[in-house]
Structure 1
Amino acid sequence: MTGNSAHAELCAAFRALHDAGRAGRPLLLPNAWDHASAAALAARGHPAIGTTSLGVAAAAGRPDGTGSTGAETLALARRLATLPVLLSVDIEAGFSDDPAAVAGYVAELAGLGVVGINLEDGRADGTLAEPECIAEKVAAVKAAVPDLFVNARTDTWWLGVDDPLAQTLTRARAYRAAGADGVFVPGIVDPATLRLLTDRIDAPLNALYQPGGPGLDELAAAGVARVSTGSLLFRAALSAALAAADGVRDGRLVVPPRLPSYAEVQALVTTDGD
């Protein structure tokens, strides 16, 4: 078991944001992929930030969801540890099939100050891991770092499985029994379905924001406690970079309003960062 009072207080603050989200407007958890994106989000006043596994993997030249970015994810967490923000890290399926190895990895993250993780049951081949396997990982993590917020993600809707509602509820119960603190069900845009899940899952429900889907007020009405942006910000940044490059090439560049200056970006870098 690992932990200290300072880390426990940070974890409690992160948990309180979820409790407030259940009672009012959901916690918006924007997802960063490098130091600059996280620092900029922190500077905008976001109290908590997550990482996006797609952004981390793509920035490292690796595929997402294959368990190949454990070192990159840990290195990023180390760089973000100095930021004045609560940090949750997406660890895909834990970068291992061994619950003890997953717990050891998460304990290392917690030692850096990380207060939460996402742990998913979707596999790279488009299937779902057995719920017992994920539950064992959740239990191992909670035994190692009891205060850390474990957000158990089930990809029932994301992967389009048959009868996703029944499978979601079964998996949510198994993960909660193992100690998961929250449940993440990406891929749902129907508020009525989200309301049903929030009524039947005894934990803060995390939804994925999707353009064209319900906004924060609608998600609040459905009882959602936390809203993640996932890879959206990374993909939006990539799109903006491509649009700028095309604009320069074609002689039609339109400079976005409030484009960060060189000095403003420099100011995001901590002097003791690596």
Structure 2
Amino acid sequence: MREFKKLHEQEDPLLIANVWDVPSAKTAEKLNFQALGTSSAAIAAMLGYEDGEEMRFSELEYIVQRIAANTALPLSVDLESGYSREPKEIADHIRRLANLGVVGINIEDSLVDEDRSLMDANAFASILSEVKDELTKSGQNVFLNVRSDTFLLGLAHAVEETQKRIRLYEKAGADGIFIPCVENENDIEAIVKSTTLPINVMCMPGLPDFERLKALGVRRISMGNFLFGALQKNYEGMLDQVITQNTFKSVFEYSKN
């Protein structure tokens, strides 16, 4: 985990390649990415589930095992909300992933029932603190990237609520903070300045370019499931060409590129 943590301290932000299977992981490694992170939404879609812990932890664990066995890159895993509400069970899930070679996890402060909603900040911080204590007792050193869904859920005072939650999560043992869906430069700067922890932002249409994010103090940039979604659209287009052209020529033309 020490080397993975150092990647959050380098001059340029750490660009994480979000992957969902062995081929996507191997492609990222071929292109010299420094680290990988799984996308829970992409893995869920690949297995026929909606995002939000519909798949079983054992299914996630198997996919992670196959990815970890086929790459030498540091691997972080999106654990959603922990696949349990019990800190000891969450810590056990993290230990099982660490035993596969995983160096970090994402854990989020929202839950999906019929809709996604934020957990109480103090209650989530308490869970996080207990998870951290359990990991420390067993000697597991895993990078805890704590995701807050204040912007994802469109809160009216998202910056202030994010800053409040960051203070709680920092005290509870977070190693990094992930704020998906934040795009505005002023919001990003205010969040970065509110903590010494590395801030992670995610691929969004209005997100500033990487040089600007570096100037704003962002330490980690991830992709979510957006590349997976784009690939699925490209696949749909290729299949449509096969149907409309009554030939496979387009498939082989594409593979030449």
TM over 0.5: yes
Q: 2:50 aligns with which of 63, 67, 71?
A: 63
Q: How many angstroms does 1:258 deviate by?
A: 5.7
What letter is aligned with 1:105?
A: H
Residue in 1 that maps onto 2:41: 54
Q: How many angstroms does 1:69 deviate by?
A: 3.5
Which region of structure 1 is more displaced relative to structure 2, 169-178 or 132-141?
132-141
CA contact (8 A) 1:14 1:86 kept: yes
Residue in 1 that maps onto 2:19: 32
CA pair 80-178 structure 1, distance change in 2 beyond 3 A = same
Residue in 2 that maps onto 1:133: 123
Q: How many angstroms does 1:162 deviate by?
A: 2.5
Q: 2:29 aligns with which of 42, 56, 70?
A: 42
Q: 1:100 aligns with which of 88, 103, 107?
A: 88
Regions of 4+ moved over 6 Å = none
Q: 1:249 aligns with which of 240, 243, 257?
A: 243
Q: How many angstroms does 1:67 deviate by?
A: 4.8
What letter is aligned with 2:3?
A: A
CA RMSD of aligned residues (A): 1.7
CA contact (8 A) 1:102 1:137 kept: no
Q: How many angstroms does 1:212 deviate by?
A: 4.2
Deviations 1:78-106 (A, max 9, x none): 11222111000001000111111100110
What letter is aligned with 1:102?
A: I
What letter is aligned with 2:83?
A: F
Question: Helix, strand or coil: the match of 1:13?
Answer: helix
- In structure 2, what is the Cα distance between the partners aligned to 1:142 and 1:39? 31
- In structure 2, what is the Cα distance between the partners aligned to 1:68 and 1:248? 33
- In structure 1, what is the Cα distance between the partners aligned to 2:197 and 2:83? 25
1:203 aligns with 2:197: yes
Q: How many angstroms does 1:109 deviate by?
A: 0.5
Deviations 1:162-198 (A, max 9, x none): 2111110111111110000000111111112111111
Which region of structure 1 is more displaced relative to structure 2, 250-259 or 97-106?
250-259
Residue in 2 that maps onto 1:109: 97
Question: Helix, strand or coil: the match of 1:88?
Answer: strand
Which region of structure 1 is more displaced relative to structure 2, 206-215 or 78-87?
206-215
CA contact (8 A) 1:150 1:181 kept: yes
- In structure 2, what is the Cα distance between the partners aligned to 1:242 and 1:164? 36
Report which structure shows greater RCO (CA 8 Å, sep ≥6).
1
What letter is aligned with 1:18?
A: H
Residue in 2 that maps onto 1:123: 111
- In structure 2, what is the Cα distance between the partners aligned to 1:110 and 1:139? 18
1:16 aligns with 2:6: yes
Question: Helix, strand or coil: the match of 1:85?
Answer: coil
CA contact (8 A) 1:154 1:184 kept: yes
CA contact (8 A) 1:151 1:182 kept: yes
Unmatched runs of 5 consecutive residues or more in structure 1: 1-10, 260-274
What letter is aligned with 1:92?
A: E
TM-score after normalising by structure 2: 0.90
Number of aligned pairs?
246
Residue identity over aligned pairs, in percent, reads 34
- Equivalent positions of 1:122-201 (< 5 A) are 122-124=110-112, 125-146=115-136, 147-201=141-195
- In structure 2, what is the Cα distance between the partners aligned to 1:140 and 1:48? 27
Unmatched runs of 5 consecutive residues or more in structure 2: none
CA contact (8 A) 1:142 1:148 kept: no
TM-score after normalising by structure 1: 0.85
Which region of structure 1 is more displaced relative to structure 2, 145-154 or 25-34?
145-154
Question: Helix, strand or coil: the match of 2:26?
Answer: helix
Question: Helix, strand or coil: the match of 1:170?
Answer: helix
What letter is aligned with 2:219?
A: A
